[in-house]
């Protein structure tokens, strides 16, 4: 029975062993994260085109659900900038921001994201995260950050700009309406942004965004700045939301399906990446499929409570961990604080300038621009830098959905290219020892006249069978001394399929007709099993399969010596 409860309620592992000594750090972390999450959640709701309370709705029940179901003890779930941008881009194509239909589609999207993540977790599809490589995620995040920043200029300038994720469209609209800039709004926004940047460097007691919000709200109220034309948040409905299903049709589901899948994947990648960082620091394990289930149910509840898609955010998680968060109780405390704010304190947001929320979004977006990764990839792997660049440019020029699709497509294409043209090497022997290495990398490694030794560093399958045939035959053809024996170091060949086995049959028959002996060294069991079932093993003979390259070389030399 305990095993069943543990499986259904993963939080049982920290609830069961909870100690009083953990309460104080969890309480501190929960309160600290709540102080940070309040301005962020309101700002991200505005980024989508919704009223601020929707962001607060997304920061209550989903947090509690994840705390009880997730495998991370520090991950701080809630609205994040990337998902907010993707949500706005998806729903904005089908409804006007701020309308009832718009909110309905956002709620539906959260439900669909949750259902997809839940299904992927139940079906154990956590491996899908591998299709979003780190360079792709980095390029996407950096480009999305720029799109977010440019998109918020309309709130800093108080001008009309289309609700889109098309960077060039936004820039064009901003330039056309630049002469309509509202200077008081610009002053408030720039002042708030500068204040947050300066305060962040001092590591203040309260988050810079919350401090800026409080100061701006007080000043706006004292000096009645709303009369100058500065856009204010206005009335924010109080009270907690009640769960309800949106009134939608099948057509809306089909329209949002591609976006829901993209958001489900990106949200999972962001959450699992953050969770693993803090799991390593605290020496516990993260279970990918359990994370999918937890995030899925969290998003379903977010939709049921009239809110937006959620996932784990790095900055909030870092704050939660730094403040002492040790278990999911910290997230539950965060949720309770935000619930209290919704019940009793929403009237305090009336005089909050929207330009301050825009500055909050810009500050968060700046942290997503990853220049370090560009420098890192430039030094170690230019092909991965190309993937980053493709995703970055595609996201800037085509929008977030096409950008992530371009990144995944480029990754798959590059994967196919690498597997169809794997690394191969001609081996030579060191004069003073029985060590065999790639002659291109090791000048001291010498080839043996009349004996060709090659190594294949990949699975041998239909995709690269022709390439490997050309490689082997090409080396035999261009050898300075006629080849009398071929040795294949197969220690790195992890798989052999029927197509590749057929190609080996052809190569070996052709070489046998030319009197060239063939030896296979260090082949692993599964590869030999395929050769036995196909008859290739019997065709060559057991004495042509050796444990080491050294043994194969000795056999080949004796064969040549006659």
pLDDT in tens, the chain (562 residues): 444 445 556 555 677 777 888 888 999 999 989 988 999 999 999 999 999 999 999 999 999 999 999 999 999 999 999 999 999 999 998 999 989 999 999 999 999 999 999 999 999 988 877 777 889 989 998 999 999 999 999 999 999 888 788 899 999 999 999 999 999 999 999 999 999 999 877 877 777 888 899 999 999 999 999 899 999 999 999 999 999 999 888 999 999 999 999 999 999 989 998 898 888 888 888 888 999 999 999 999 999 999 999 999 888 998 888 888 889 999 999 999 999 999 999 999 999 999 999 999 898 889 889 899 999 999 999 999 999 999 999 999 998 888 988 998 998 899 888 888 999 999 999 998 899 999 999 999 999 999 999 999 989 999 999 999 999 999 999 998 999 999 999 999 999 999 999 999 999 999 999 999 999 999 999 999 999 999 999 999 999 999 999 999 999 999 888 6
- Whether the CB-CB separation of 395 and 147 falls below 8 Å is answered with yes
- Whether the CB-CB separation of 117 and 123 falls below 8 Å is answered with no
Token digits for 67?
A: 């705390």
Residue 234 backbone dihedrals phi, psi, to 5 degrees:
80, -165
**Among candidate residues 324, 271, 272, 263, the one with its CA nearest the CA of residue 116:** 263
State residue 12's pLDDT score: 56
Q: Which helix (H) or strand (E) holds 456?
A: strand 451-456
Token digits for 365?
A: 């977006």
Residue 436 backbone dihedrals phi, psi, to 5 degrees:
-120, 125
Q: What is the pairing mode between strands 436-438 and 451-456?
A: unpaired
State residue 273's pLDDT score: 87
* 18 SS3 class: coil
Residue 456 backbone dihedrals phi, psi, to 5 degrees:
-115, 120
- Whether the CB-CB separation of 531 and 501 falls below 8 Å is answered with yes
Q: What residue has token string 């709004």?
A: 185
Total length of the chain:
562
Q: What residue has token string 């060294």?
A: 521
State residue 49's pLDDT score: 92
How big is the CA angle at 147 (ends 143 and 150), to the nearest 5 degrees? 135
- Whether the CB-CB separation of 126 and 271 falls below 8 Å is answered with no
Alpha-carbon span 503 to 554, nearest angstrom: 26
**Among candidate residues 283, 279, 281, 349, the one with its CA nearest the CA of residue 312:** 279
**Among candidate residues 156, 313, 320, 343, the one with its CA nearest the CA of residue 241:** 343
User: Which CA distances in Å does 479 have to 379, 466, 475, 508, 557?
Assistant: 35, 20, 6, 18, 17
What domains sit in the chain, N to C, each tagged with a CATH number?
A: 2-240+248-414 (no CATH), 424-561 (3.30.750.24)
- How does DSSP assign 41-72, residue by residue? HHHHHHHHT--HHHHHHTTTHHHHHHHHH-S-
* 469 SS3 class: helix
- Whether the CB-CB separation of 138 and 370 falls below 8 Å is answered with yes
Distance in angstroms between the alpha carbons of the first and the last residue of the chain: 72
Residues 477, 480, 486, 490, CA torsion sign: negative
**Among candidate residues 360, 391, 121, 94, the one with its CA nearest the CA of residue 248:** 94
Alpha-carbon span 173 to 181, nearest angstrom: 12
- Whether the CB-CB separation of 170 and 161 falls below 8 Å is answered with yes
Scored b (16 or more CB within 10 A) or e, 194-232 reads ebbeebeeeeeeebbbbbbbeebbeebeeeebeeeebbb
Alpha-carbon span 455 to 487, nearest angstrom: 9
Alpha-carbon span 303 to 431, nearest angstrom: 70
Token digits for 290?
A: 């359990």
Token digits for 45?
A: 């709701």
Helix orientation angle between 314-322 and 329-344, rounded to the nearest 10 degrees? 110
């Amino acid at each position: 029975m305990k095993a069943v409860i543990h499986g259904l309620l993963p939080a049982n592992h920290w609830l069961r062993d909870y100690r009083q000594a953990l309460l104080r750090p969890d309480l501190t972390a929960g309160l600290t994260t709540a102080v940070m999450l309040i301005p962020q959640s309101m700002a991200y709701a505005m980024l989508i085109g919704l009223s601020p309370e929707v962001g607060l709705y997304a920061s209550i029940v989903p947090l509690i659900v994840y705390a009880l179901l997730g495998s991370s003890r520090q991950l701080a779930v809630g609205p994040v900038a990337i998902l907010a941008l993707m949500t706005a881009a998806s729903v904005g194509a089908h409804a006007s921001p701020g309308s009832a239909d718009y909110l309905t589609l956002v709620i539906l999207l959260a439900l669909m994201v949750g259902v997809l993540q839940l299904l992927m977790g139940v079906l154990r599809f956590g491996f899908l995260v591998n299709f979003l490589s780190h360079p792709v995620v980095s390029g996407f995040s950096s480009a999305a950050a720029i799109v977010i920043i440019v998109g918020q200029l309309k709130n800093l300038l108080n001008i009309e700009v289309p609700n889109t994720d098309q960077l060039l469209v936004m820039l064009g609209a901003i330039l056309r309406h630049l002469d309509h800039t509202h200077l008081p709004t610009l002053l408030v926004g720039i002042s708030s942004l500068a204040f947050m940047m300066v305060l962040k460097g001092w590591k203040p007691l309260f988050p810079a965004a919350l401090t800026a919000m409080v100061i701006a709200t007080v000043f706006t109220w004292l000096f009645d700045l709303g009369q100058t034309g500065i856009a204010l948040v206005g009335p924010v409905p109080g009270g907690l939301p009640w769960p309800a299903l949106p009134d939608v049709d099948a057509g809306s589901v089909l329209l949002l399906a591609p976006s829901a899948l993209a958001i489900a994947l990106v949200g999972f990648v962001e959450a699992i990446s953050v969770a693993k960082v803090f799991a390593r620091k605290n020496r516990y394990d993260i279970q990918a499929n359990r994370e999918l289930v937890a995030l899925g149910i969290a998003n379903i509840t977010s939709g049921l409570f009239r809110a937006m898609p959620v996932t784990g955010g790095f900055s909030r998680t870092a704050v939660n961990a730094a403040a002492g968060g040790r278990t999911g109780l910290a997230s539950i405390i965060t949720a309770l604080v935000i619930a209290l704010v919704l019940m009793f304190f929403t009237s305090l947001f009336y005089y909050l300038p929207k330009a301050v929320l825009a500055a909050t979004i810009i500050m968060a977006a700046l942290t997503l621009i990853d220049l370090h990764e560009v420098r890192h990839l430039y030094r170690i792997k230019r092909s991965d830098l190309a993937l980053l660049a493709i995703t970055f440019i595609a996201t800037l020029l085509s929008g977030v959905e096409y950008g992530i699709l371009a990144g995944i497509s480029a990754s798959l294409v590059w994967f196919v290219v690498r597997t169809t043209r794997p690394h191969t090497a001609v081996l030579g022997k060191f004069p003073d020892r029985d060590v065999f290495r790639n002659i291109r990398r090791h000048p001291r490694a010498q080839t043996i006249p009349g004996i060709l030794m090659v190594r294949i560093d990949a699975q041998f399958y239909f995709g690269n069978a022709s390439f490997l045939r050309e490689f082997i035959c090409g080396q035999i053809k261009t050898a300075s001394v006629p080849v009398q024996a071929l040795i294949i170091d197969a220690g790195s060949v992890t798989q052999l399929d029927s197509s590749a086995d057929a190609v080996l049959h052809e190569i070996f028959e052709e070489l046998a007709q030319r009197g060239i002996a063939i030896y296979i060294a260090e082949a692993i069991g599964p590869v030999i099993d395929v050769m036995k079932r196909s008859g290739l093993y019997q065709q060559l003979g057991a004495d042509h399969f050796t444990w080491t390259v050294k043994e194969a070389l000795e056999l080949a030399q004796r064969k040549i010596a006659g």
